[in-house]
A and B are shown apart, each in its own frame.
Chain A
Amino acid sequence: MRYLCLIYEDEKWWEKASKDDMQKGMAEYTAFTESIKKSGAYVGGEALQPTTTAASVRVRNGKISTTDGPYVETKEQLGGYYLIKAKDLNDAVQVAARIPGARHGTVEVRPIMEFDQP
């Protein structure tokens, strides 16, 4: 099974972090990524730029509308993701729990919907 681990963290933390904290934080992520690459769980993953760079796109009646945002007033924002392979949800949760962001933010684990090949 594949699972998408969505990492919600306070993006302000990264903005305010000192150079040392920032380097520590980055190093933790690098180490985690290396570890799941070695274990074979890693499929993909990226960090995202902050929500201030986001655009929301909708198509209604064939017309594209682009807007600023979304700016939901939440403490935690989607900041990155890992796509992993795991035996089952418990296994996936074990991996997700080791994502550095899980210690101060929230990691949402979502099974990938697999469509049957026709």
Chain B
Amino acid sequence: MIRLLGDFDLAEEALQDAFTAAVERWPIEGTPANPRAWLISTGRFKTIDRLRKRRREVPGEYDMPQELTESEDYDIADDRLRLIFTCCHPALNADAQVAMTLREVCGLTTEQVAAAFLTTAPTLAQRIVRAKSKIRDARIPYEVPTRNDLPERLATVLHVVYLVFNQGYFTRADLAAEAIRLGTLLADLLPEPEALGLLALMLLHDARRATRTNTAGELVPLEEQDRSRWNKAQIQEGVALVERALTSRGFGPFALQAAIAALHAEAPTAAATDWAQIAGLYDVLNRAEPSPVVELNRAAAIAMRDGPEHGLALIDAILARGHLRDYHLAHAARADLYRRLGRKAEARGAYMRALELAIEEPERRLLQRRLKEL
């Protein structure tokens, strides 16, 4: 309906009209053979009427959507893809992209989306209204981008899905599940290597959900997690997807991160993890998408491969360049390495700094425990 009308609000009104008509007529005339097509064509005619009326009231204000006169086949899957690409259009700001995707694609209520992003329902409703007006007024097309634009546009969509997943990482299993549903849809409809990579990454991270925090709500680090409780079916699915992604041309950061997650997921113990290969994958990742956070992870892998002092030197070099100074995980990583070297005073200082910066409660509790144990 949005595709036909080019306007979210008109489409919602149209559908409402159609359902009202259905409630009145179906019990009398019987349910039509194709209820979906019936609803769409009814909504469409109701909208033509509505637009004609408005046109008489306010001449020239509304353009009559052209496609309304053409008949088309409706493809549900294609429409969902178009909807995702419209909600994640790069001309909308990042907050609006996430809000629109959760509201319009996942069907969450405004209140649910607001709760997920720690904002109030009116603020969020306004964000959505603005995004919808922009889609209408700037004429953001309701379509899947052409082959040429696809890599850039898909990157934006995948980024939004990953944001939703991360928002649900610790406490909101429902958001993580929503993100995996979206990721599955994208991987099915558009099996590009990065779409497969993102789905694999989310499945592999999510497979450890049960063991990531303990009953006290404290983060359990990877090496202390009970690996027998990891979701094996999900790990298998993730690993298979990673393999598919890495053997296709054009894989990128998501597939590489998924490959790293797969090595962790398949290792029988933390010590028996293939740290050399993980460090190598971080090298490739840092070349594909250079970032201090990737360097930090690479440093942690090198510390496991070559010893804590090697990792420390790399992290200190990142901090000396002025990066990650306010990133709690950089200080937490330094603290862990000092702890492993038995240098308690330095470990304590670094844990304190990490604790000042950490926001998520499970992470804070782990840091507090480490401090107490020193």
Contacts and interface: CB of A to CB of B under 8 A. Distances in A.
Interface of A: 49, 52-55, 63-69
Contacts of A63: 152
A14 to B, nearest CB: 13
A54 B93 CA distance: 11
Contacts of A55: 90-91, 138
Nearest to B136: A53
Contact of A66 (B90, B133, B134, B137): B90
Interface of B: 89-94, 96, 130, 133-134, 137-138, 149, 152
A52 B152 contact: no
Centre residue among B91, B93, B137, B138 by max chain A CB count within 10 A: B91
Contacts, number: 32
A83 B152 CA distance: 36
14 contacts: A52-B130, A52-B134, A55-B90, A55-B91, A63-B152, A65-B152, A66-B89, A66-B91, A67-B91, A68-B90, A68-B91, A68-B93, A68-B94, A69-B93
A64 B91 contact: no
Centre residue among A64, A66, A68, A69 by max chain B CB count within 10 A: A68
A80 to B, nearest CB: 15
Contacts of A65: 90, 152
A53 B134 contact: yes
A53 B137 contact: yes
Centre residue among A52, A54, A69 by max chain B CB count within 10 A: A52
A66 B92 CA distance: 9
B90 A67 contact: yes
Given A63-B152, A65-B152, A52 B90 contact: no
A53 B96 CA distance: 13
